[in-house]
Structure 1
Amino acid sequence: MASLTSHAHKAADNPWLERLTRAGLVGYGVLHLLFAWLVLRIAFGGAPADGDQSGALHALAAKPFGSALIVILVIGLTAMVVWQIFEASIGHRGERGRHRVYERLASAGRAAFYTYLAWTGIKVLRGKNKSTADLQEEASQDLMVSSGGRLTVAVIGVLVAAIGAGLAVYGLTRKFEKHLMTSRMTAQVRDLIRRLGEIGYTAKGAAYGTAGVLLVMAAVTYDSDKARGLDAALRAMAAQTYGTWMLVITAVGIAAYGLFSVVQARYRKV
């Protein structure tokens, strides 16, 4: 077992995996910047694409060299999946006890999410136009045929809302700093990445929290239109009296997270 763990650590320390992972973090940040741009378009009534990550990828695919950029992004995301699988299996260096278990579970969740994003990118490259929001709505429609299915949708909504709350707390308490090589930063960079992380994680948390609440409402009211994930959350914001400003603030926050991801690519412990 010790030998197997040793081999796993050596594989995790592969320099090419580190380079691809850091490139993936940059791509992940760019994806969030595109997402923020879509949120702004929704705010001002000009976004035909869905307001989620798949909508951002579809918008990118329509640009010159967009497909090539998505290929690079998928490669980087795949490296991030491998990295997080290693983190989930062998743990974070220096973590002990309950914190070690929590970090392993968090890494497993990140690996699943990065896999979903990579697969979404592959589907966009293959020309499949059905968005994640459409798939979520269809799945919710199928589930809500029975009372047990509606309960399942409600439970998923509660979990999504809890993830949103967790992201916000993670940002506000600056837990992200323990994964960064802060000793290599100048005071100015450390202050910048701290502010970007606080704002970015809080904005993402608020968006996911709203999406989770809407999923619960979809189950209660039997309205699958509310079960479209982030797209439904953003369009629900747009329908409010101060919806435009709410979306502008959300877009700024998501853009902050995108910039945080780009900056942390250099300083993340990989």
Structure 2
Amino acid sequence: MSSAASNVKHTASRAAESKPLEYLARGGFIGYGIIHLLFAWIALQVAFGSSGQDTDQSGALQTIARESYGKTLLIIIAVGLIAMAIWQAFEAAIGESGPQDRAALAERALSGVRALLYTYLAWTAIKVVQGANSSMGDKNQGMTGKLMDSSGGRLLVGLIGLVVLGIGIGMAYYGWKRKFTKHLNTGQMTPSTREPIIKLGMAGYTAKGVAYAIAGILVVTAAVTYDPDKARGLDAALNTLAGNSWGVWLLVLIAAGIAAFGVYCIAQARYRKI
């Protein structure tokens, strides 16, 4: 590694380890947890036919905005999410010290994906504060419609659906196999808190994985049937479940899992390795 590259990496590493960024990122986990708790509540309402909101993170942000303190809270959440995005961007760029094997490179790639996700959620929160109806489902549907009208667009949409399906399967596996525990300071947990927190993470990642897998299947279906309405992401996936008698109870289980993930995120504010 050249001297200049080494200096850049050292500077980035010091920035990633700064205490202000750590505190903001930990606060971001609390905001991320709140978003998922509200997301779960909306999903439960949809399961029993009492909500017309978007059944995804943007619906949760809209719910926060309607409260008297909502815009202030959204700004705080957005700042935390931006800090989380910066932290994960540093993790993607720098990685852990030592040889970079396949697992380390895969973890850096995941950090890059997380950085993009947190950035997008922060941007959505800011748009909601500004009064825009920032619906993830509408954006997904509109983008899919434009893609399918272009040459080769339906094939690209189908490939995107397969990627989302793969992400869902990977997320469920990640939770079921407790892969997330390597990011936790489990040694700081008491015996009475360690196992409940791990079980919350297992339930949360598995539930989100199932939801994303269903969303991916629907995107593939949208490409095959030329129906952009099916490509609304999590919103379409959960509403599709709500439209079937057997699906309602699966939706309730997914909502419970997403709520578990919300609580797990709040626990990460204390125990996540940053």
The TM-score range, normalised by the shorter chain, is over 0.9
Within the candidate set 92, 95, 108, 1:91 is matched to 95
Deviations 1:89-131 (A, max 9, x none): 1103567411211111010000011111011101111111141
| 1:105-184 to 2 correspondences below 5 Å | 105-146=109-150, 148-184=152-188
TM-score under structure 1 normalisation? 0.97
Q: What residue is the counterpart of 2:108 in the other structure?
A: 104
Deviations 1:163-182 (A, max 9, x none): 00010000001000000111
**Shift in Å, 1:2:** 2.1
Q: Structure 2: how far apart are the matches of 1:238 and 1:48?
A: 12
Q: What residue is the counterpart of 1:211 in the other structure?
A: 215
1:77 paired to 2:81: yes
**Shift in Å, 1:227:** 0.7
Whether contact under 8 Å (2:88, 2:112) holds in the other structure is yes
Equivalent residue of 1:64, what SS?
coil
1:50 paired to 2:62: no
Within the candidate set 11, 14, 35, 2:18 is matched to 14
**Shift in Å, 1:142:** 1.1
Q: Structure 2: how far apart are the matches of 1:55 and 1:194?
A: 27
**Could you list the runs of 4 or more consecutive aligned residues of structure 1 that deviate by over 4 angstroms after TM superposition?**
none
The share of aligned pairs that are identical, in percent, is 52
1:236 paired to 2:240: yes
Whether contact under 8 Å (1:193, 1:264) holds in the other structure is no
Deviations 1:6-53 (A, max 9, x none): 211111111000000000001101100000000011011111211011
Alpha-carbon RMSD across the aligned residues, in angstroms, is 1.2
**Which consecutive residues of structure 1, in runs of 5 or more, have no partner in the other structure?**
none
**Shift in Å, 1:146:** 3.8
Change (3 A) 1:234 1:177: same
Q: Structure 2: how far apart are the matches of 1:45 and 1:70?
A: 27
The number of residue pairs the alignment matches comes to 270
Within the candidate set 182, 191, 199, 1:195 is matched to 199
Whether contact under 8 Å (2:33, 2:263) holds in the other structure is yes
**Shift in Å, 1:241:** 1.9
Q: Structure 2: how far apart are the matches of 1:8 and 1:143?
A: 38
**Which consecutive residues of structure 2, in runs of 5 or more, have no partner in the other structure?**
none
| 1:25-36 to 2 correspondences below 5 Å | 25-36=29-40
